[in-house]
Structure 1
Amino acid sequence: MHRLLRQTVSKRLTNYNLLRRSITSINRPLTKFSSATLPITPLHTLQTKRATLFKRFMTTYKETPFLQWKLFPDFQKLVNETSPAIAVPVFEKIIEAAKEQFIAIEKTFEPTWDGTIGKLTELENEVSKAYGILSHLNGVKNSDDVRATLEKIQPEFVKLGLMMNQSEPKFKALETLRNTPSAWSQLDAVQQRIIDQTLRGMKHAGIGFASGSAEKARFNQISERLSQLSLLFSNNVLDATKAFKHVVTDKSELTGCSETFLETLKKNGERLGEEGYCITLDYPIYGPFMMNCSNRELREKIYKANITKASEGGINNEPVINEILTLKAEKAKLLGYETPADLSLSVKMAQTLSAAETLLDGLLESSLPHAKQELKDLSKFAEERLNQTTPLQPWDIGYATEQYRKELFKYDEETISQYFAFPKVLQGLFDVANEVLGIQVRELTASEMSEKNITRWHDDVKVFEVAEQGKVKAYFYGDFYSRPSEKRSGAWMDVVTTRFKHQDGEVTLPVAYLICNQAEPQSDKQPSLMKFRDVETLFHEFGHCLQHMMTTVDYPDASGINGIEWDFVEVASQFMENFCSEPEWIDRLSGHYETGEPMPQDMVSALVKGREFMSGLATLRQIHFSKVDLSLHSQFKVPTQEGEPTVFDEDARISKQTILTPRLPEDRFLCSFSHIFGGGYSAGYYSYKWSETYSADAYAAFEEAKAKNGLQGVKSMGKHYRDTILALGGGTPPSNVWKQFRGRDYVDIQALLRHSGLTK
C-alpha cells in the first residue's frame, strides 16, 4: 500500500553526468584579466604581469574549501562559507579560472583522445565537484544563504557549460577523430562511446548554431532560464511544505493514530514552536497520518492541502510549469526535434516516444483488471467494516488500504516498524551486499574519520568504507533522518567524486551521498524505527550507490552512474528492493527493537505477500504519472488565453483511463511534481517502469540460479551481476550490458508481472 501513497523517491538533485560533460554554466565576459582593465604598457610587460597575476589568482582560488579536497570535502568549513558574501566571489573566481583554462586549451585541441577529452578531464572534474557541493548543501542544509548563492551562481555555470559545449575547435577535433578510421580504431570501446555521447551532447547544447546568430543567442537564453526555473520550482515546493501546519489540541480528533505517532506529532509541534499535535506535509508525518487517522474530515483537509501546495500566492508553480513547458518546446524545435519528449528520448534506452508508450500501455492492460478488482474489494471492506460511504474519496484510499492490510495480514505499519530498528536493517543491508555480491561495507569510527580529516554537515551523518576482498573501493556518506526545516523530502543518491584514473596512474576512488528521510530516533533508548517502505527505500538508494562505487571504468565521463541512459539507471536500485521481500532476508533485517525477539513468521509472510497487495492500483498510479509526463512534453499546448485547457485539465483527462477513484477539480499535484519540473525526469518518468522490467528480470536470474545451485548459485550470479550491471557503468551501451548479464537481447516483462502478482 505504501506504493499507492508515496512518490517514487529516487532522484538525484544534480544530473552529475551532464554537469561533468557540459558543466552546465558560464560565459561571462572577462573583467579582471582582460587587457582593457590594465594600464597601457609594453606588450611583453603586460604579458608578464598578466601571467604573474593569473598564477597568483589560480593559487588563491584553489585554496577555497570548495576545491581543496580529494575525497572528502571539509563540510565543517563549507557550512559556514555558503553565504553569498563569501561563496559568490569564490565561485566567480572558479568560473573565471575555468574559462581562462578552457580558452587556453581550446587553442591546442587535436583529433586524438589525449588531445580532446584528455585535456579537459581535470578541468571538468574540478568545476563539477565544486558545484556539486553547493547543490548538495542546497538539498541537505537548505538555508537562505545557500539558496541565494545557488540562485546567483547557477546561471553562470550554465553559461560555462554552453561555452564549452559550443566550442567549434573542440567539436571539429572530436568529429575529425570520429571520422578518421585509423585513429578511431585505436580507441577502446568505452572511449568511442564517450566521444559519441560528447558529440551528441554538444549538438544538443547548440554547437550547430552559427556564431553570433539569433538562434544561438535565444538557445543560450532558454538554457539559462530553464536552470533558474527548475531551482525556483523546487524552492517553491520546499517553502510550501514548510509553510503548512495544522495543530490539533484535542487528542480525540486523532483517533486511530498510535501513541508512538502521537508522540511524533507532539515533537513536531515543539520543533515548530506549537503546543499540541502538529500535522505537516513532509512525508514522515503526512504518510502515517493519512493511513491511520480515522477522522475523515481532518484527512480531507490535510489531503487537499497536500494536492494544492505550491499552487497559490507568491509560490504558485503553475506559471513556472507553463514557462518551463513553453521554453522546452522552443528549445526542442531549435535543435530540430518535434517535441521535448523526442529530444529527451533520443538519449535514452527507449529511443522513441512510441517505445515508452508501448510499455506503459502493455502494463496498463495487464494491471487494470487487477486494479478494478482491488478497488472493488477495498470499497466493500470500507463499507462493511469502516462504515465509509462509497465511492471512496482520494483521502479515504490510504486509510482504507491500511485498515484492509491490517485485516488481511493482522499487523499495522506501526507494529511492523518496531521490528525494523535502523541499526539492524542497515547491518542486514550490508550482509546482502557481502553474501550475495561479495562487497564489504563498514562504518568508519570517529578516530578513523579524524585521521582522514572527514567532517560532516550534521552530527547524524555517518561515513562508510566499501571494500572487495580486502581492497578499499569507495566510500559513502549516509544521511538517513528527516530534518524538515533544512532538508528536502524524498530520498536520493548523489555523487561526491567519481572513479578517475589520472595520467600518472593514481586512481581517485568514488565517493557517494546516500540521503533518506526516515523518522529520527525518538530517544537514546529508541532508535529510528523504519516503516517497511523506508526499508525498501534504503535498499533502493544503496543500489544506486553500489553502481557508482563498484565501477571498473577509469574514465569519469562513463564511470559509475555517469553516462548510463536515464531509463536504465534505475535497474541497479530497483533490483536491490527485491531482497526486502525474501523471507530469509526479512529475518536477518528484523528484530524487536526492545527485546531483540525475531519477527513473527506470520508478520514475515504478511510482508512477503505485501509486494502483491494492491499492486494493480500502485501500478496504475505510476503509469498515470508517466503518461502525464510524456503527454505534457509531447502533445500538450500551453494555454495562451482564458478558457484553453490547462496542465491540470490534461492531468484530469489522462486520469480518466488511469485513476479509478474520483478526481478533485482542485487537484494541483503537478505544482509539486518535482521529478519532472525540478529534477531530471522530464519526459523520463516512464524510466521507473522501464527499468523495473529489467530489474525484475535481473532478480529472476538470481531466482533461477538459486533453484539450480542453491546459495552457491546465488553467489556465482552475484559476481556475474557485480561484473556486468555494476562494473560496466556508462561505458557500455545498456543493451550490451543486458546481453552480457542475461545472455539475451530482450527483457522478459513476465518477471515483473509475476513479482507483482499481476499474472494471476
Structure 2
Amino acid sequence: MTPADNPLLDFSGLPRFDAIRPEHITPALDRLLADAQAAVQAIENDTAPATWDTVLTRLEAATEPLGRAWGIVSHLSAVVDTPALRQAHAENLPRVTEFSAALGQNLALYRKYKAIAEGPEFAGLSPARKMLLEHELRGFRLGGAELPEDQKARFAEIQEAQANLSKAFSDHVLDATNAYALFIEDEARLAGVPEDALEAARAAAEKDGKAGWKFTLHFPSYFPVLQYADDRTLRQTLYEANVTRASELTAYNQGKPEWDNSANMVEQLALRQEESRMLGYGNFGELSLVPKMAESPEQVLTFLRELADKARPFAEADWAELQTFARESLGLDKLEPWDLAYASEKLREQRYAFSEQEVKQYFPEPQVLAGLFDVVQTLFDVVIAVDEAPTWHPDVRFYRVSSRDGRLLAQFYIDLYAREGKRGGAWMDDARGRKRLGNGSVQTPVAYLTCNFSAPVGGRPALFTHDEVITLFHEFGHGLHHMLTQVEDLGVSGINGVEWDAVELPSQFMENFCWEWEVLSRMTRHATTGEPLPRALYDRMLAARNFQNGMMTLRQIVFSVTDMQLHTDFDPRGNQSVLELARTVNDTFHVIPQATLSRWPNSFSHIFAGGYAAGYYSYKWAEVLSADAYAAFEEAAQTRGTVLDPETGMRYRQAILEAGGSRPAMESFKAFRGRQPTIDALLRHGGMAA
C-alpha cells in the first residue's frame, strides 16, 4: 500500500482532507502500527550502548506518523462525525490505545532511556533534550513500566477501557445535542429573540422542510432564546433540554436511554482510582498533578477556597441585585434557572444602556479576523496571509504565518461555525509539530483552530458576540503557543511538555486585548452602517466588563472543586452519586442554588472526555499567570502609549511562546516578568481588588 492508494499514509505535506475516507482508516492503521511495533522491537534488540539517535530518534521516526494519522482521524471525528467515521474510529481506538499502553510499560525501552540519562552523552544534551528525557522517564513510570509483570495486563486493560469510555461519553453528548429539535410556528412566542437568531432558526427549519423556526441545543441556537425570549415557558423548555443532555431524563431532551452518561462517569472514576493506586498514589488527583505545576490536591483546593472567599462578597451582591431587579422590574418573584440569562441581560441593558445584541452588530467576521491578525502581527513581528490546502468542510479556511522576510513559520486551519456532526465548544489542536528533520530542514507546525459560532445567514458575514470574539482570541493564543515555538525536539515543542495548569497562560493572555480601545476601534465595523464601535458604547462595555464576575468566578470554582473532589476523596462505588457531590459543592461555594433538574456533570466533557480530569482548576490557576503577564503590557502602555508594544511583545514571544515545553513554565514566566507571579492583576482585572 502506498500513499497514493491511502492518503492517511501521505506525510509529504499537509493532510489530504479532500481524499480521506472512513475506509482508509483501518488499512492505514494496520501499516502504521506494524511499522511502529517493528521499530520498537528493533530498538529493544539492539545490543549497542543506547544513545539519543539509536533510541529516541528512531522511535520518534516510527511513532510520529502513527500519531499524525490518528490525530487526523480523531480531528475528523470531532468536526464531521458520520456513522461510518464513528465506526472506523471505534474499531481502531482500542488498537492505538493498546500500542500506546504497551509502549509506556516497555521495561526494555525504559532501561535504555535511563541508560542515556545516566550515561556520558547526557551532559552534552541541550536543555530541551534533557527536559524531554526527564518527561519521557516520568511517562514510563506513570505508564506502568515499573509495575510487576503480572499487573501490566490489567493496567493496559484500564487504559483501553478509559479510552473507550471517554469516546463514548463524548459521543453521547454529541448525539444528545444533535437529536434535539424544537419547532416553533407561532411567531408571537419568539418575541424578544434577535433577528439574526430568528433568521438562522428559520433557515434551519426550511432545510428540514418544516414551517416556522427550528431551535437546537447547539449554543448559537439555544442561548439567544435563554437570553432574550420574553416567553418564559419557551426559555424553560430549552433550558431543561440542555441541562438534561446525556442523562436519564430523556423525556426533556428527545434523547435515548443508551446516551445516559451516569454509569460512564462512575466507571471512569473507578478506573482512574484503580490506576492511581496501582502506581502507588493515594488517588487520581495526586497522579494527575505529577506533571503539573501544582504540588498537591490540597494546594489546589486551598487556592480555590481562597479565591472563592475573595469572590463571594461580590457574588452575593450580584445575586441580591439580580433578584431585586427581577422582582421589581420584570415581575419575577422567584428567579428560576431559565430566568437567569434573561434577567441578567435585562439588568445589563438597564444599567449600562446596551445589549449584547447591539454590540454584536459591530463584530462582523472579516473585521474581527483582520483585527486579531493585526494584533498578532504588531506584537510578534509576523505576517499572516491566506494560504491553500484541502479542508474537511467548505467553511474551513487556511492561513500561513511567516516572518517579515517571508520565511514560513507555521500554518493553521480555522473552522468557526457550529453545525450538526461537530462537537460543541472551542479548542486548538495540533496537526503537526515543529521539529528538526534528518536532512537539516525544519518541519513547521500546523494547528487546528475550532469554534462553534453562528454561521452567516442571508448572504451577509457572520456576526460575533463580544464573548465569541474573546473565545477566538483565546484559542488563537493556544495556536500561537504551538506555532511560534522555536524548539526543535517534538516532545517539548510548542504546547508539548507544557504543564497542564500553565497551558492556558497564552490563551487567557490574548483575551485581554479584546477590552482595549485601540484594538476594538480598529477591529469593529457596524454590519449596516460600516461605522466603528462608538467610544461611548465601548465605555459602557468596559464598565460592564466585570458584570456579575463574582457569580461567574464561583461558577468556575464549583466546576474546579467538583472535578478535584471527584478525583480525590470520592468513592465511585459508594452511596453518594456524582450528581450529589456536585450539588454539595455548589451548596458550599455558590450563592445560586443548583437546579434540581440539572444533570450538568453528564455533559462535563472537559473532565470525562477532554483531558482535564483533576485539572479543571488550571483555568483559574493559569489566569493568575496570564493576568500578571498582561500587566507587563499595561505597564508598557504607561510609558509608550500603547499596549500593542512590539518590544514587550517580542520579549513575551521569546520567553513564553518560543520556549514551549523546553523548560518549566515558571522559569519561562520569570524569564518574562523577572519575578514570581502575584494574584494582584487577576483581582484587579476581575474587579475584585481591595
Q: Which of 698, 714, 736 is matched with 2:667 structurally?
A: 736
Distance 1:273 1:755 in 2: 48
CA offset at residue 120 of structure 1? 1.3
Q: Aligned runs of 1:623-642 on 2, under 5 Å? A: 623-639=557-573
Do residues 202 (structure 1) and 140 (structure 2) align? yes
**Structure 1 residue 196, shift from structure 2 partner:** 0.7
Instruction: Give the counterpart of 1:614 among 548, 563, 569.
Output: 548
CA distance in 1, matches of 2:3, 2:490: 23
Which amino acid in 2 is paired with 1:206?
G
Give the letter for the 1:423 counterpart. P
Alignment of 1:446-485 (within 5 A): 449=388, 454-470=389-405, 471-483=407-419, 485=420
2:252 aligned partner: none
Question: Which residue, out of 113, 130, 134, partners 1:192?
Answer: 130
Matched, 1:679 2:610: yes
* 1:695-710 mapped onto 2 (5 Å cutoff): 695-710=626-641
Output the CA distance in 1 between the equivalents of 2:275 and 2:673: 38
Take 2:397 and 2:234, find their aligned partners in 1: how far apart are those partners? Answer: 38
| Conserved 8 A contact 1:107-1:169 | no
* Distance in 2 separating the partners of 1:141 and 1:110: 47
Q: Secondary structure at the match of 1:348?
A: coil
2:299 counterpart (337, 355, 359): 355
Please name the residue that 1:224 is paired with.
160
CA shift, 1:403, in A, is 0.9
Whether the 8 Å contact between 1:291 and 1:398 is mirrored in structure 2 is yes
Q: Residues 347-746 of structure 1: matches in 2 within 5 Å? A: 347-390=291-334, 392-444=335-387, 449=388, 454-470=389-405, 471-483=407-419, 485-524=420-459, 526-639=460-573, 644-711=575-642, 714-744=645-675, 746=676
> Once the two structures are superposed, what CA deviation does each residue of 1:400-443 show, in whole Å capped at 9, x if it has no partner?
11111111222212221111000000000011001122222111
Distance 2:445 2:432 in 1: 5
The answer to which of 565-574 and 251-260 deviates more is: 251-260
Give per-residue Cα distances to partners, 1:500-529, cap 9 Å, x unaligned. Answer: 1012211111011111111111132x1000
Which runs of structure 2 are paired with 1:145-294 in the superposition (5 Å)?
145-180=84-119, 182-211=120-149, 213=150, 215-294=151-230
Q: Does the C-alpha gap of structure 1 residues 712 and 414 become closer, same or farther in structure 2, counting only changes over 3 Å?
A: closer
Kindly indicate whether the alpha-carbon contact (under 8 Å) linking 2:586 and 2:593 is maintained by their aligned counterparts in 1. no
Gaps of 5+ in 2: 249-256
> C-alpha distance in 1, partners of 2:216/2:190?
14
1:757 aligned to 2:687? Answer: yes
The one of 723, 744, 747 aligned to 2:677: 747
Q: Which residue of 2 aligns with 1:129?
A: 68
Task: Give the AA of the match of 2:72.
Answer: I
Deviations, residues 631-677 of structure 1 (Å, cap 9, x unaligned): 0011111135xxx2111100000111222223223321100000000
Q: After TM superposition, give the deviation of residue 606 of structure 1 in Å.
A: 2.3
Residue identity in the other structure for 2:19 = K
Instruction: List per-residue Cα deviations over 1:136-163 (Å, max 9, x = no partner).
Output: 1001111111111111101101111122
Please report how far the alpha carbon of residue 287 of structure 1 lies from its aligned counterpart in structure 2 after TM superposition. 1.5
Question: 2:251 maps to what in 1?
Answer: none
1:217 maps to a residue whose letter is A
Range that drifts further, 554-563 or 245-254: 245-254
What SS class does the counterpart of residue 201 from structure 2 fall into? Answer: helix
For 1:728, what is the secondary structure of its paired residue?
coil
Indicate if the aligned counterparts of 2:379 and 2:644 stay in contact, CA closer than 8 A: no
Q: Secondary structure of the residue that 2:19 maps to in structure 1?
A: helix
Is the CA contact (8 Å cut-off) linking 2:633 and 2:643 kept in structure 1? no
Indicate the percent of aligned positions where both proteins have the same amino acid: 37
Deviation, 1:223, is 0.5
Structure 1: 5+ residue stretches without partners:
1-58
Instruction: Kindly state the Cα deviation for residue 197 of structure 1 after the two structures are TM-superposed.
Output: 0.6
Retained in 1: the 8 A contact 2:107–2:146? no
**1:61 and 1:93 in contact (8 A); partners too:** no
**Alignment-mate amino acid for residue 164 of structure 2:** Q
Deviation at 1:61, TM superposition (A): 6.8
How many aligned residue pairs are there? 680
The two structures, once aligned, show a CA RMSD in angstroms of: 1.5
Asked whether the 8 Å contact 2:35–2:62 carries over to 1, the reply is no
CA distance in 2, matches of 1:591, 1:62: 46
> 1:71–1:496: 8 Å Cα contact kept in structure 2?
no
Paired residue type of 2:677? V
TM-superposed CA distance for 1:63, in Å, is: 5.3
Contact 2:29–2:66 under 8 Å retained in 1: no
Change (3 A) 1:416 1:162: same
TM-score, normalising length from structure 1?
A: 0.88
Q: Give the TM-score normalised by structure 2.
A: 0.96
More moved, 706-715 vs 552-561: 706-715
Could you tell me whether the CA contact under 8 Å between 2:428 and 2:479 is conserved in 1? yes
Q: 1:335 maps to which residue?
A: 279
Contact 1:61–1:94 under 8 Å retained in 2: no
- CA offset at residue 545 of structure 1? 0.6
2:559 counterpart letter in structure 1: F
Distance 1:572 1:110 in 2: 41
Quick check: 409-418 or 187-196, which moved more?
409-418
Contact persistence 1:476–1:512 (CA under 8 A)? yes
Hey, what's the Cα distance between the residues in 1 that align with 2:186 and 2:102? 60
- Measured in 1, the distance between the counterparts of 2:164 and 2:643 equals 52
Q: Residue 76 of structure 1 aligns to a residue in which SS?
A: coil
CA-CA distance at 1:756 after TM superposition = 0.7
Conserved in 1, the CA contact under 8 Å of 2:364 and 2:464? Answer: yes
Q: CA deviation at 1:712?
A: 9.1
SS in structure 2 at match of 1:77: coil
**2:398–2:414 CA contact under 8 A, matched in 1:** yes
1:99 to 2:37 alignment: yes
In the other structure, the counterpart of 2:18 is 76
Amino acid at match of 1:82: P
1:240/1:315 contact within 8 Å kept: yes
| Larger displacement relative to structure 2 (327-336 or 378-387) | 378-387
Q: Given that residues 393 and 661 in structure 1 are in contact (C-alpha distance below 8 angstroms), is that contact kept between their aligned partners in structure 2?
A: no
Quote the Cα distance in structure 2 between the aligned partners of 1:457 and 1:608.
38
1:363-404 per-residue CA deviation (whole Å, 9 max, x = no partner) reads 1011000000011111111111111113x2221111111111
Q: Distance in 2 between matches of 1:243 and 1:401?
A: 29
Conserved 8 A contact 2:97-2:159? yes
Query: CA shift at 1:611, angstroms?
Result: 2.2
